[in-house]
Amino acid sequence: MSSSEDSEIKAFRRTIITWYRQHGDSYLPWRRTGDPWRVLIASLLLRKTTTKQVAEVYDKFIKTFPSPESLARAREEEVEELIRPLGMERERAKLLIRLAKELVEKYRGRVPCEERELKQLPGVGDYASAEVLLVACNKPKPLLDRNMIRVIERVFGVKSSKKRPHTDPALWKFAEGLVPSDPEEAKEFNFGVLDFARKICRARNPLCNKCPLKGICLHYASKHAGRRESFEKHHR
């Protein structure tokens, strides 16, 4: 890595963390807990739905099922009714109960803090395991979903050749290099990227003129270079 690339990464980290402290959704309950069970549940509930929808059912879900043991004993209909606002309630309920039963049987109701063990659990992939490790186990990991991928592509011009970029080991390795080594800063950084992608670096109509990263963003530079060329051509 060149010194210029290293300085850009440091600027990226610093800007995202500062932005998150001012504008991020730090109030979300699954970001304010060190309980791996609560973090894991939030990660699975957030799949294919929105933060707002999950926020409406999360507290009630945790109060009803505060541990894997309590969920392992639940009836599917009870879980379905609780998570109905999120959609796919039957499929999601089956998965959550199966996960809880496996945690009880294999780990005595404890959510492991080892990546290999986490990924062997039902429904737990790269992202969910990274979220548990980051938030509950204080292990700096990137939360590489489509939002972080979009920000990385735009700012650094790093693109995956795979149809499913979130499964690309090279992209995960690059994202890991962006995450601060300090556990608390790593959390703020990851949450910051996710919120920044949703509020500023949106998939459609990104707010580029309001973006604090425009000084290092390749997407911004290329877009405005095109505008300058068009302006100069038009006014010759």
Q: Quote the pLDDT of residue 223.
A: 84
d(CA 144, CA 170): 12
Pull the structure tokens for residue 161.
């050749």
Structure tokens at 130: 């990274």
Q: Write out the DSSP string of 12-40.
A: HHHHHHHHHHHHS-TT-GGGS---HHHHH
Contact 139, 160 (CB under 8 A): no
| pTM for the structure as a whole | 0.90
Task: Return the domain boundaries, the chain.
Answer: 1-26+140-236, 34-135
pLDDT at 25 over 50: yes
For the stretch 69-99, pLDDT in tens is: 999 999 999 999 999 999 999 999 999 999 9
Neighbouring residues of 55: CB distance < 8 A, sequence distance ≥ 6: 28, 29
CATH class of 1-26+140-236: mainly alpha
Q: How far is residue 220's CA from residue 218's CA, in Å, rounded to a whole number?
A: 5
Mean per-residue pLDDT, 207-222: 95
Class of domain 34-135: mainly alpha
